[in-house]
């Protein structure tokens, strides 16, 4: 399931901007009508103006509906991320209101055009056009709260990460300042992508490395605090969404030096909570800042240092083996989504030489 491209969500205009845009285009369409008879010219102009205004609004609103990802087509992770950031109910209701308004404006246009065609005086044409404009404006203003909500939600959603759940995903979790982003930077084959979290100056780091032409994605989560779920803020809820709904493996990072500001007991308490949330994927516990550790914990299987690189390559190999994305059960088939370069082989030699090799006469 492909990840939604949040940054491609189109700009959301203000309600009055939509109307100004529609009526401005309608006026220009009126100037294009040619007919020597004033009666027929006016009737055509009024019909053309209503059609143009409704078309503009209809296309604008439906473009938003089409370009915004459908919740039903998203992964559980992306739906949970939207719910934590802006709320799935508001998301669904706002897009539904936009769709309703587009259809209503189109219906008003058809009704007004039919009315004008039944009229027999020029003044009546103008009155019908103004009445249609009024009804269209009323519909747009009626959904003003939903339009404004979409504009604010767009600014938030554009900052969300795009994670392809069809490729291997490694989620890195832990308390604040334990070295999650540093670990991702050390494991990444390139510069990690950085995106700001909604409602905060905190940042999200997305990294990846490639093994046998397959990308392995790494997602950090905002530092979780050891406190009840109902006391957690939106940023922490996004982290919970990542923990519960995405990833082939979860790496829980512990800073036993406590230099990050969270005691070891609090970190272990948080680990216990994470284990209760994540039951269907393996959890790997790793200790960060090994260059500062003076006493190695008894249960430490993975000691890592993003500063001097200790344990990084071994840890990468361990994660690849644990995920097993390239394990071949059937030697005659490739793993799912295996990246194969398409190479077109051309016959070697001239046409005459090829025919001779194949026993074909000229």
What value, to the nearest 5°, has the Cα angle with vertex 82 and ends 78 and 83? 115
The C-alpha angle 119, 120, 122, rounded to 5 degrees, equals 95
Q: What is the pLDDT of residue 223?
A: 63
Q: How many residues does the chain have?
A: 362
Q: Say yes or no to pLDDT of 63 above 90.
A: yes
The single residue listed with the structure tokens 């001779």 is: 356
- What is the rounded distance in angstroms from the CA atom of residue 260 to the CA atom of residue 265? 13
**Confidence (pLDDT) at 244:** 64
Residue 195 has pLDDT above 60, yes or no: no
Distance in angstroms (rounded) separating the CA atoms of residues 145 and 284: 45
Question: Residues with Cβ < 8 Å from 57, sequence gap 6 or more?
Answer: 18, 19, 22, 101, 102, 105, 136, 140
For residue 98, the model assigns a pLDDT of 97
Examine the pLDDT at 200 and tell me if it is beyond 50.
no
Q: 273 pLDDT exceeds 90?
A: no
What is the reported pLDDT for 137? 97
CB 244 within 8 A of CB 277: yes
The domains of the chain, with CATH numbers, are 6-157 (1.20.120.1190), 169-323 (3.40.50.300)
User: Coil, strand, or helix at residue 196?
Assistant: strand
- Taking only the tens place, the pLDDT of each residue in 143-159 is 999 999 999 999 888 87
Q: Name the pLDDT band for 25 (thresholds 50, 70, 90).
A: very high
Confidence category of residue 7, pLDDT binned at 50, 70, 90: confident
What percentage of the chain reaches a pLDDT higher than 70? 78
Averaged pLDDT, 70-90: 82
Residue 141 has pLDDT above 50, yes or no: yes
Could you tell me if 190 and 179 are in contact, meaning their C-beta atoms sit under 8 angstroms apart? no
Query: Which pLDDT score, from 0 to 100, does residue 356 have?
Result: 60
Per-residue burial over 324-362, b if 16 or more Cβ lie within 10 Å, else e, is: ebbeeeeeeeeeeeeeeeeeeeeeeeeeeeeeeeeeeee
Average pLDDT over residues 182-200: 66
Report pLDDT for 57.
Answer: 97
Torsion angle of the four alpha carbons 335, 338, 344, 349, in this order, in degrees rounded to the nearest 10: -60
Read off the pLDDT of each residue in 246-274 and give the average, rounded to a whole number. 86
Q: Which residues of 83-114 are buried (b: 16+ CB within 10 A; e: fewer)?
A: bbbbeeeebeebbebbeebbebbbebbeebbe
Task: Give this prediction's pTM.
Answer: 0.67
The reported pLDDT for the residue numbered 328 is 64
Average pLDDT, the chain: 81
pLDDT at 280: 79
| Residues 6 or more apart in contact with residue 347 via CB below 8 angstroms | 354
Q: Is the pLDDT reported for residue 111 higher than 60? A: yes
Q: What is the pLDDT of residue 123?
A: 93
Scanning the structure block, which residue is given the tokens 């005659």? 332
- Residue 251, token pair as written in the block: 């790496």
Average pLDDT value for residue range 35-55:
91
User: Across the beta sheet with 283-287, what order do the strands follow?
Assistant: 193-196, 203-211, 214-220, 169-174, 249-254, 283-287
Question: What pLDDT does 105 receive?
Answer: 97
Q: What DSSP assignment string belongs to 256-285?
A: TT-TTS--HHHHHHHHHHHHHH--SS-EEE
Is 351's pLDDT higher than 70?
no
Q: Work out the pLDDT band at 359, boundaries 50, 70, 90.
A: low
């Amino acid at each position: 399931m492909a990840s939604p491209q949040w940054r491609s969500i189109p700009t959301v205009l203000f309600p009055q901007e939509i109307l100004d845009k529609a009526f401005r285009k309608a006026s220009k369409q009126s100037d294009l009508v040619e007919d020597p008879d004033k009666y027929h010219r006016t009737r055509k102009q009024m019909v053309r103006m209503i059609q143009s205004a409704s078309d503009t609004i209809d296309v604008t609103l439906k473009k938003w509906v089409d370009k915004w990802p459908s919740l039903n087509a998203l992964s559980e992770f992306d739906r949970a991320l939207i719910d934590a950031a802006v709320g799935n109910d508001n998301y669904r209701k706002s897009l539904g209101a936009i769709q309703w308004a587009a259809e209503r404006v189109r219906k008003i246009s058809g009704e007004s055009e039919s009315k004008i065609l039944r009229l027999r005086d020029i003044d009546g044409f103008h009155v019908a056009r103004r009445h249609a404009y009024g009804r269209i404006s009323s519909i747009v203003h009626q959904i003003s709260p939903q339009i404004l909500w979409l504009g604010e939600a767009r600014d938030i959603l554009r900052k969300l990460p795009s994670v392809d759940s069809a490729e291997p995903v490694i989620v890195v979790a832990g308390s604040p300042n334990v070295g999650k982003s540093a670990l991702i930077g050390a494991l990444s084959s390139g510069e990690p992508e950085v995106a700001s979290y909604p409602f905060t100056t905190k940042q999200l780091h997305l990294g990846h490395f490639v093994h046998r032409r397959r990308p392995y994605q790494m997602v950090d989560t905002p530092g979780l605090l050891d406190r009840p779920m109902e006391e957690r803020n939106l940023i922490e809820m996004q982290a919970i969404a990542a923990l519960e709904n995405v990833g082939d493996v979860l790496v829980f990072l512990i800073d036993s030096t406590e230099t990050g500001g969270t005691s070891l007991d609090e970190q272990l308490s948080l680990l216990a909570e994470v284990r209760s949330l994540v039951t269907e994927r393996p959890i790997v516990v790793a200790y960060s800042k090994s260059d500062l550790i003076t006493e190695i914990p008894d249960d430490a299987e993975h000691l890592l240092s993003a500063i001097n690189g200790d344990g990084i390559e071994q840890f990468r190999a361990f994660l690849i083996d644990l995920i097993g994305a390239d394990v071949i059960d059937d030697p005659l088939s490739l793993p799912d989504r295996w990246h194969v370069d398409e190479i077109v082989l051309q016959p070697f030699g001239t046409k005459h030489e090829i025919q001779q090799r194949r026993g074909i006469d000229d």
